[in-house]
């Protein structure tokens, strides 16, 4: 069948864009989270808490750039910082730039575990390089991750993300074709928030284990404080490094991230999203003696971890990140964010209860998701074995009513969500419940 050519002189509408995308991009999407065909849209602009499609429809945005847009779209101070930097240079490679150094200093000043930082471009690179650094530092190979945890798009992260039955711990399952089988011996998996199982695995593998990596909030599930404290103790007792993946929780749960929120300091932590202000940016933060493994003066030694990336420390991302952090540092920022979150979640729960829908508005502290469960989940397995199809159907109805969420996926509140957003979201849920 021949494709109908697009008239490039006429303004393109959404269908035109999708026709082109279907021809040029596998699945006409950007990865695992394409919207269903009947509610998909092409985003064209963002303003505050809203995004607009190329066809001019506005949505209330709870996807929030997967958590990167903690202060919404186009905050004037961020736009100004990026504009100014764009006029001074988009990118330098091979030498440091002034804003990358300023960002590093701010991170070291703010993040409890950060004595030094290795700047990257994304959160995935940060977790990938943290694993390499931990291996070079310790001389050991294995890493322990938790079931349901996502640490980015590399092969070491792609194990046991979507469990539908209990695993044969510590053996994980690859979630993607193309992940070498050999890696399964390198990545150990334990159930989240289950200290006893983690302790058994860590003790058994302590001589080969370089790193335990954990998210302080795994998807929508908050770690129990005793779990994080317990991991700290067990890692110390077994001489294994502890790392928090703070790509999502960093600067969101508190200025100093999950480690400040829970009061537990890891040896290493990864950051992304907010520190790039919606642009490129990520880092590995941690103890100086560990991060010095990345010092290129060690080249040729077994305890040297080679780190490199064209866009590492990109000044545009650093400009956006620094401007964002400055806003987050204003007194009361997080209290304000969490108050919006409390309000939205309690209103949504009231709607669900009024309609007798057997679901909860799960989450807190700016994380949320509607789940067909009676009580908040404690593991990813709880979520995957709940009525996730019903969750997706409800989310699709929300999309139809102008609420931008990804069906079945955890979502975020940003500091610019307004009372009007909350009311409209409540109305949309009310109407969706009636429809279903």
Ligand X SMILES: Cc1ncc(COP(=O)(O)O)c(C=O)c1O
- Among 152, 258, 266, 278, the residue binding ligand X under the rule CB under 6 A is 152
Distance (Å, rounded) from C-alpha 331 to C-alpha 354? 37
Q: How far is the CB of 60 from ligand X (least distance, A)?
A: 21
Judged by beta carbon, residue 280 or residue 315, the one nearer ligand X is 280
Binding segment for ligand X (CB under 6 A), chosen from 9-17, 116-124, 172-180, 295-303, is 116-124
β-pairing verdict for 367-371 and 360-362: antiparallel
Judged by beta carbon, residue 271 or residue 372, the one nearer ligand X is 271
Peptide linkage before 232 cis (omega within 30 of 0): no
Distance (Å, rounded) from C-alpha 242 to C-alpha 228? 10
Contact status, residue 284 vs residue 133, Cβ threshold 8 Å? yes
Q: How far is the CB of 33 from ligand X (least distance, A)?
A: 10
Distance (Å, rounded) from C-alpha 137 to C-alpha 324? 33
What b/e string do you get for 334-365 counting C-beta neighbours within 10 Å, with b at 16 or more?
beebeebbeebbebbbebbeeeebebbbbbbb
- Among 6, 12, 35, 66, the residue binding ligand X under the rule CB under 6 A is 66
Distance (Å, rounded) from C-alpha 241 to C-alpha 74? 38
Binding segment for ligand X (CB under 6 A), chosen from 86-94, 148-156, 297-305, 320-328, is 148-156
Judged by beta carbon, residue 285 or residue 359, the one nearer ligand X is 285
Judged by beta carbon, residue 150 or residue 156, the one nearer ligand X is 150
- Among 172, 250, 272, 277, the residue binding ligand X under the rule CB under 6 A is 272
Judged by beta carbon, residue 63 or residue 305, the one nearer ligand X is 63
244 binds ligand X (CB under 6 A): no
Q: How far is the CB of 145 from ligand X (least distance, A)?
A: 11
Judged by beta carbon, residue 245 or residue 430, the one nearer ligand X is 245
147 binds ligand X (CB under 6 A): no
Q: How far is the CB of 245 from ligand X (least distance, A)?
A: 5
Q: Which residue has the tokens 């910082």?
A: 81
Contact status, residue 108 vs residue 117, Cβ threshold 8 Å? yes
Contact status, residue 158 vs residue 176, Cβ threshold 8 Å? yes
Structure tokens at 241: 């490094």
Helix (H, G, I), strand (E, B) or coil at 294: helix
124 binds ligand X (CB under 6 A): yes
Contact status, residue 130 vs residue 306, Cβ threshold 8 Å? no
- Among 179, 247, 269, 396, the residue binding ligand X under the rule CB under 6 A is 247
Judged by beta carbon, residue 66 or residue 327, the one nearer ligand X is 66
61 binds ligand X (CB under 6 A): no
Q: How far is the CB of 153 from ligand X (least distance, A)?
A: 6
- Among 179, 248, 351, 405, the residue binding ligand X under the rule CB under 6 A is 248
Judged by beta carbon, residue 53 or residue 365, the one nearer ligand X is 365
- Among 137, 150, 262, 404, the residue binding ligand X under the rule CB under 6 A is 150
DSSP H/E element including 419: helix 419-435
Judged by beta carbon, residue 215 or residue 267, the one nearer ligand X is 215
197, burial (CB in 10 Å: exposed 0-12, middle 13-18, buried 19+) = middle
397 binds ligand X (CB under 6 A): no
62 binds ligand X (CB under 6 A): no
Mention every residue, 6+ apart, whose C-beta is less than 8 A from residue 351: 426, 429, 430, 433
Binding segment for ligand X (CB under 6 A), chosen from 32-40, 146-154, 325-333, 382-390, is 146-154
DSSP letters of 164-217? SS---TTB--BSSTT--GGGGGTEEEE-TT-HHHHHHHHHHHTTTEEEEEE-SE
Other beta carbons less than 10 A from residue 264's beta carbon: 23
For binding to ligand X (CB under 6 A), which residues are involved? 66, 122-124, 127, 150-153, 215, 245, 247-248, 272
């Amino acid at each position: 069948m021949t494709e109908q050519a697009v008239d490039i002189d006429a303004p393109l509408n959404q269908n035109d864009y999708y026709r082109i995308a279907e021809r040029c991009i596998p699945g006409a999407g950007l990865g695992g989270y394409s919207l269903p065909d009947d509610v998909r849209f092409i985003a064209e602009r963002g303003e505050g808490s809203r995004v607009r499609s190329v066809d001019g429809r506005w949505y209330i945005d709870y996807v929030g750039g997967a958590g990167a847009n903690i202060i919404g779209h186009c905050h004037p101070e961020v736009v100004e910082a990026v504009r100014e930097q764009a006029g001074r240079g988009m990118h330098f490679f091979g030498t440091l730039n002034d804003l990358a150094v300023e960002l590093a200093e701010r991170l070291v000043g703010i993040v409890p575990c950060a004595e030094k930082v290795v700047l990257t471009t994304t959160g995935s690179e940060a977790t990938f390089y943290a694993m390499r650094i931990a291996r070079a530092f310790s001389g050991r190979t294995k890493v322990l991750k938790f079931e349901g945890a996502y640490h980015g798009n590399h092969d070491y992260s792609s194990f046991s993300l979507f469990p539908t039955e209990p695993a044969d711990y510590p053996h994980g399952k690859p979630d993607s074709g193309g992940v070498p089988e050999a890696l399964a011996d390198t990545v150990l998996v334990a159930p989240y928030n289950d200290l006893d199982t983690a302790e058994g695995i860590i003790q058994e593998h302590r001589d080969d284990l370089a790193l335990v990596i954990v998210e302080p909030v795994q998807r929508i599930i908050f770690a129990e404080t005793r779990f994080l404290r317990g991991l700290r103790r067990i890692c110390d007792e077994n001489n294994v490094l502890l790392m928090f993946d703070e790509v999502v929780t960093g600067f969101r749960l508190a200025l100093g991230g999950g480690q400040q929120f829970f009061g537990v300091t890891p040896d290493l932590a990864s950051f992304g999203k907010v520190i790039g202000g919606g642009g490129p940016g990520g880092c590995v933060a941690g103890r100086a003696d560990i991060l010095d493994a990345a010092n290129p003066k060690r080249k040729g030694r077994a305890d040297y971890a080679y780190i490199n990336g064209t866009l590492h420390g990109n000044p545009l991302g650093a400009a956006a990140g620094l401007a964002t952090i400055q806003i987050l540092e204003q007194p009361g920022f997080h209290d304000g964010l969490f108050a919006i979150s409390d309000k939205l979640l309690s209103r949504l729960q009231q709607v669900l209860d009024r309609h007798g829908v057997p679901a909860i508005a799960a989450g807190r502290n700016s994380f949320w998701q509607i789940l067909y469960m009676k009580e908040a989940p404690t593991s990813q397995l709880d979520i995957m074995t709940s009525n996730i199809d019903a969750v997706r159907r409800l989310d699709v109805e929300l999309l139809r009513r102008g609420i931008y969420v990804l069906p079945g996926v955890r979502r975020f509140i940003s500091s610019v969500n307004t009372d009007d957003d909350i009311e409209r979201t409540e109305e949309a849920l009310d109407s969706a419940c009636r429809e279903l």
